[in-house]
A and B are shown apart, each in its own frame.
Chain A
């Protein structure tokens, strides 16, 4: 269903873009503050996320998943500021492991808001699993790794809050219909639904893109 730009007041999107086994994969999340983001504020936001990846997040992913860009965009209007930042030195993951599992193998972590309904929860599909992330049963991730991932994402929530950004979930649709304005809901935290591996078919080369 085609639609035009859907504004979300005082919100910025952050896209973490990876080079991963020959494809481009990305994770997106949203933050809000009390006024529209300026370019300088987007750059500051990007710096916060970049530092978090460098000091914390990269330890969870394989060396085959390389963070190459961080794209930020203010969502107030179609013409609002945006920055597409290429890391001067693309950053590989540092998770040791002998074997990177295929790109369609992922693991989803839930972003909760304390409200029920599809408009009020988000998910992040992890990029860059290797064998060391999996449990002895190959269809599950290890509890230690999953706990670390959730902890690191909650660290992001705290780091962003300290810098004046509120992490949240943005809903663009309700009842199958696009909203005229996106709805931002403050997130209360990241959590695990289970330890089962999840699937992202389009992260395989040439599949569905």
Chain B
């Protein structure tokens, strides 16, 4: 079922890792009724800038941001634009890369109660110096949290942008045709235990489950 998210665009940050590609998805709400191309361009540039100055500092140097795809979810005929990044932007951590299914979940707080209403960002390309057995180190977790909180600020500062948001594609088990979205107030973590993303491994299933988000 098609779902529309008024004023919101999806930005998919795509990375290469040895033998596989992975992605992180963010959603951004504009202040106008729908997205203009120039505004998508500006937000895409803000993501690139944030990666260069901040995000890459905590990502292994075998990981490269190679493309960002922006899609206006306001209507079925909304803009969609692919931004190749050439040359790709590398992570900046010179440590031993861990397998791609090893990740750490950062929770996006929207200051609203309810199951399944917060978003999560699964951090890419962790290295050995950031983890200890099954845990991420407290220092690494705090640096990643700070980096994502910086992203909230950086995206919010772009002209015609309202905020980084979390859309609620499923409410009470139902997929509404028009989706509401909540501002991301801050990022945090529930615990220091690492998380798993099996689909990030080479040749593991990447199919979408029935009824997944658009």
Chain A residues engaging chain B, CB cutoff 8 angstroms: 21-23, 64, 99-105, 131, 134, 137-140, 194, 196-201, 204-207
Contacts and interface: CB of A to CB of B under 8 A. Distances in A.
Contacts of A105: 98-99, 101-102
Contacts of B41: none
Contact of B18 (A139, A198, A204): A139
Contacts of B101: 104-105, 197, 199
B134 A137 contact: no
B18 A206 contact: no
B98 A198 contact: no
Interface centre among B18, B131, B133, B204, by most A CB within 10 Å? B133
B202 A102 contact: no
Majority SS of interface residues in chain A? loop
Contacts of B202: 139-140, 196
A21 B62 contact: no
Given A105-B101, A138-B100, A99 B134 contact: no
8 contacts: A21-B133, A100-B133, A139-B18, A139-B99, A196-B202, A198-B201, A199-B198, A206-B193
B134 A138 contact: no
B20 A205 contact: no
B96 interface: yes
Nearest to B60: A138
Interface string B5-26: 0000000000001111000000
B196 interface: yes
A197 B203 CA distance: 10
B25 to A, nearest CB: 20
B133 A102 contact: yes
B195 interface: yes
Interface string B56-100: 000000100000000000000000000000000000000011111
A138 B62 contact: yes
A204 B128 contact: no
Contacts of B196: 104, 199-201, 204, 207
Q: Which 8 A-B pairs have the closest CB atoms?
A: A201-B196, A199-B198, A137-B18, A104-B196, A138-B97, A199-B101, A197-B99, A21-B133
A137 B18 CA distance: 6
A138 B131 contact: no
A141 B201 CA distance: 12
A196 B128 contact: no
Contacts of B17: 138-139
Contacts of A137: 18-19
B194 interface: yes
B99 A21 contact: no
B133 to A, nearest CB: 5
B18 A138 contact: yes
Contacts of A204: 134, 193-196
Interface centre among A131, A139, A140, A201, by most B CB within 10 Å? A139
Contact of A197 (B128, B134, B193, B201): B201
Contacts of A21: 133-134
Contacts of B133: 21-22, 64, 100, 102-103
A200 B97 CA distance: 19
Contacts of B203: 194, 196
A140 B101 CA distance: 12
A102 B98 contact: yes
A137 B99 CA distance: 8
B182 to A, nearest CB: 26
Contacts of A100: 133
B102 A101 contact: yes
Nearest to B126: A102
A103 B131 CA distance: 12
